[in-house]
Every structure is written in C-alpha cells, then in structure tokens.
Amino acid sequence: MSPEEFRRHGYAVIDWLADYSARLESLPVLSQVSPGEVRDGLPAEPPATGQGFDGLLADLDSVIVPGLTHWQHPSFFAFFPASATGPSILGDLLASGLGVQGMLWATSPAATELETLMLDWLARLLDLPAGFRSDSAGGGVIQHSASDAALVALVAALHRVSGGATETDGVAAGRFCVYTSGQTHSSVEKACRIAGIGTAALRKLDVDPDTLAARPEHLAELLAADVAAGRTPALVVASVGATGTGALDPVAELAELAHRYGAWLHVDAAWAGVAAVCEELRWINAGVELADSYCTNPHKWLLTNFDCTAFWVADRSALISALSILPEYLRNSATESGAVIDYRDWQVPLGRRFRAMKLWAVLRWYGAEGLQQHIRKHVALAQEFASWVAADPRFELLAPHPLALVTFAVKGGDDPDETGRRVLAAVNASGKAYLTHTVVNGRYAIRMAIGSVLTERRHVLAAWQAICELLPGED
C-alpha cells in the first residue's frame, strides 16, 4: 500500500468509523447472529491474489457488523464498559502507524518516557499515593489487562516472600498461599494457576452479607492457620469495585494483616478505580497508601480503548528482580547505565505496543474536568436508576451501589430468580439494551452497569421501561 493509497483508504476508514458511531443507536445492542453465521458469510479459502481494500469495508458492513455486539452502543449496560473514544482511537492509530516496539528504553526512548509520565499524570489525577510515582521507589506501567496485573503482582510477591528463591527453585506445592474474597475477579485464580502455585493455594475470604466486602476477621484466621501449618502467605488481593456487584473491600484492614504476615497486598480496582478522578469519590482510595500494588483500567470506564491497564507498584525493585533476565542480545549501554526504565522487566511479554500514546491523547483531550464530568454523569444516572428499582415493589436492590453499577433482583412470585432470568433474556433478545447477571447471596441478580460514552438519561429510562414491560406476569 503506497502512501497515497494509505491516505485514501485511511480517510475511508475514519469516515466509516464516524458513520458507525453516528448510527450505533439504530443497531440491536446484542448481536443476533447464530453460531457459524459470520464464518459462513466469508470465503473458506484465503485470497490467492491481493484484493484491494474497498471490498473489506463492504464485507464489514454486510458480514461483520451484524455479528458484533456493540460495546459502544448507548444502551450497552453489560459487564463493565469498554470505552473507545475519538481521541483514544486516534492515539492508538498513531501508535500503530509509528509501529515502534518499546520493550527497552533504547528501542524507543519516547515510548518509555511518555508511558512513565502518563502513569505519573494518572496517579496525580486519581490522587494515588506519591509512593506510586516514578520519582519514588515505586512506579507505574501499562499492562495489557488487569489479569496481567494480578499475575505480575503475584510473581513479585512470590519473589519477595521467598527472598528471590522462586526464580531459581520454582514453587513447592502447598507452600505459598493467596487470599481474596469470593467476589474477586477470577483473574486471581488464573494467576495462581499460571504462576504454578495452583488453585489449591487460593483461600476465599467470607464476605459481609450486606456490603459483600471481604471480612478481615476471616483473613486473620486463615493467615494464622496457614502459618501454624508451615505455609507462607504470599499475596492478599483486595477488590475496589468487584466485578459482580461492585463490592469494596476494607483495603487498610486487609493490608495491615497482610503486612503483619509478610504478604504482598494488591488492589484490583480495574473498573472502579478511575472514579477517583472526582474529589467526592476519592473515599474509594482509603487504605491504598498501604498497598504494594494497585491497578485500574482506563480501558473500562476512562474513555480509553482496549487495552490499557494502569498498574503501579510501591517498590519496583521486587517486580523487576522477579521478572528481569538480560540475555546478550538485549544488552545495551542505556540499560547498563541503570539510568533508564526497561518496561520489558515489568510485564510478562518482551514486546510492547506504544499504548501511552492513546492515554496521552485521552488525558489531553478531556483534561481533569472532562474526565470528572464523564464519571459524574454515569454515577448520577445509576443513582436515578437505583431509585426507580427501589420504588418498584416488583424489584429489590441487592448490593450497595455508590458508583455506576446497580445490582437488583425480581421480587415475589413462586420463582423470582427464574422470572429474573426470563426478563433479562427477553430484554437482551429485544436488542433494545444489553445487561448481564450475577448471583448475590444465592439470588439471581441483574447487573445494570452504566458507562458507555454515548449513554444519556433517555437510554437508561428506555432500558428500565423494557425491563418493566418484558417482566413476565404471574402464570
């Protein structure tokens, strides 16, 4: 593709995306295709000769778009949001076009230095402890996902509790333990499997039945029992905004216990953490100053397209010592000077994209005020939605909802959980809105997660009306 062809097709792609965004609201939120339909719409054989680009955009319209669930749709209320905004898409396009691979400072100093600065900016915007900033013993890095953040936190924790022995000796079965609540995202269990300590190393903390927050008393019991049995507590993971219900663990109490037993405290604030851009929501940071590591995802609720997990550590040496291997072919004078950051030592892969570019574009475009408005709007909409649920005798709220996730259930009738299942299926099949579910204290719960950039009050109201209209009556 020559530069002129690139320019022509590039304009067409941007036009296509701008049109897509403008017509999103007319599309069903949840894809209506059957399994295999998308694949059957495309040739089984790869092209023998080059085909140009125009046909790809035509296939995009006719085959791919019907097979999309539209995450940017204003009536997307499922899972958690995954925002893609103009500035982040353009920032990402620039990163793709530059095509640099910033595994070492030396392989593109600007990629590393912009990333370090963006993580420092974000730490300031979220009012995170100064000890996470790069001018301290800590620092920040962009990980692919919150799951990667949990994994590297675990590897750093194993390094620290073993005095570095895990790097050479591996992990003996049954020796190390990890603690987190039953509300915590499954990525912590996956991290245990990948790190080789296995699911058996994971201890699930009981939660308070009202707040769904981890009970520190249970953590204290488990830590004492494991130590008495000769095992080593390695990691405690606290959730700030757990996936199912948005539960917030008491970070300070969990951290104090973790540290008493020499364990690492990681905070998973993948969805909720970015809410701290608003001063009035900074209470969610309580206790974070005691954390060894912390992550939040701008790619969920902070206007930045996937992938962009911000991950900070209070002591970068534990992370770097755990992950650094310097083969001959990567040696260079900048690394050996010790004066630069090589982000390859902060993550699982060697190679890395220039993800700081899109974060830079987002932070510059919106500024602190724009980010705050975005979060405040969703929090206010969620509070209004929760008030409708609370006022309707056919429904009940199942969990605290201080941010933009409302978890509720159908009440009454012979089998309210089955009624809840049916109404959710009907709403999603209608294409008018897309919501997902969880289970809270044994109850089938519908989750309303507000966070799409395009969502207005009328979309939230329409979703509520669809839920009420499609609620099956008593048979």
Binding interface with ligand PLP (CB under 6 A): 80, 145-147, 185, 187, 239, 241-243, 268, 270-271, 297, 309
| 80 or 261: CB nearest ligand PLP | 80
| 270 or 281: CB nearest ligand PLP | 270
| 189 or 268: CB nearest ligand PLP | 268
* Sign of the torsion angle spanned by Cα atoms 242, 401, 309, 66: positive
Smallest gap from residue 85 Cβ to ligand PLP (A): 18
Smallest gap from residue 403 Cβ to ligand PLP (A): 12
Inter-residue contact 232 to 175 (CB < 8 Å): yes
| 147 or 181: CB nearest ligand PLP | 147
What does each C-alpha distance from 261 to 161, 182, 388 come to in angstroms? 10, 21, 46
**Count of positions (residues) in the chain:** 475
Neighbours of 100 (CB within 10 A): 15
Smallest gap from residue 73 Cβ to ligand PLP (A): 18
Residue of this chain nearest to ligand PLP (CB atom) = 145
Smallest gap from residue 264 Cβ to ligand PLP (A): 17
| 268 or 315: CB nearest ligand PLP | 268
| 267 or 409: CB nearest ligand PLP | 267
Smallest gap from residue 268 Cβ to ligand PLP (A): 5
Dihedral pair phi/psi, residue 423, rounded to 5°:
-70, -40
Nearest of 120, 121, 119, 131 to residue 290 by alpha carbon: 131
Smallest gap from residue 371 Cβ to ligand PLP (A): 19
Beta strands in 134-262 (DSSP E): 139-143, 176-181, 202-205, 232-239
Give the ranges where 196-237 is alpha helix by DSSP (H).
216-228
Smallest gap from residue 401 Cβ to ligand PLP (A): 15
| 162 or 187: CB nearest ligand PLP | 187
Separation CA 227–CA 450 (nearest Å): 43
Separation CA 285–CA 269 (nearest Å): 9
Separation CA 359–CA 214 (nearest Å): 32
| 309 or 347: CB nearest ligand PLP | 309
Nearest of 148, 153, 374 to residue 278 by alpha carbon: 374
What does each C-alpha distance from 341 to 119, 269, 356 come to in angstroms? 13, 25, 14
Smallest gap from residue 438 Cβ to ligand PLP (A): 11
